[in-house]
Amino acid sequence: MTETTGTILGPCPACGEGTLVESAKAWGCSRWKPEDGGCPYTIWKTVAGKKLTVAQIQQLLAGETTEEIHGFQNPKTRKIFSARLRIDDPNTGHIAFVFEPRKELGRKEG
Ligand SMILES: [Zn+2]
């Protein structure tokens, strides 16, 4: 058993017919070819310089928001930041950052 090749994450959430297969840089739908339907679903393994774990990707596929992940780097400012991730576009697998307001800095309601 190896975790880096041959891992199958399950059916493609976008088309439901393909399976997500691993390539060097991403998990993508097996039906990406135009003659197979041209499914664009892709989840990049590395987001803002941070490599995601299979467990985190499985969370995203399940429609969940991940725990806060540390060590992202803003490509412009080079600033390191933390965020949670979720799938922003279920048709393409586009990932969005979710920034949690800091509880200790939160304003008190009322
Ligand atoms: Zn698909």
Give 93 Cα–ligand 1 centroid separation in angstroms.
Answer: 10
Give 42 Cα–ligand 1 centroid separation in angstroms.
Answer: 9
Distance CA 77, CA 56 (A): 25
Whole-model pTM over 0.85: no
Give 3 Cα–ligand 1 centroid separation in angstroms.
Answer: 22
Give 34 Cα–ligand 1 centroid separation in angstroms.
Answer: 11
Distance CA 19, CA 87 (A): 17
Pairing of strands 26-29, 20-22: antiparallel
Give 104 Cα–ligand 1 centroid separation in angstroms.
Answer: 41
- Bridge partners, 81 (sequence order): 72
Looking at residue 2, its pLDDT comes to 41
- Bridge partners, 42 (sequence order): 28
Going by the DSSP 8-state scheme, the letter that residue 33 receives in this structure is: S
What number of other Cβ atoms are within 10 A of residue 11's Cβ? 15
Looking at residue 6, its pLDDT comes to 62
Residue among 74, 40, 70 at smallest CA distance from 52 = 70
Give 13 Cα–ligand 1 centroid separation in angstroms.
Answer: 7
Question: pLDDT by residue (tens digit) across 55-93?
Answer: 999 999 999 999 999 999 999 999 999 999 999 999 999
Looking at residue 106, its pLDDT comes to 54
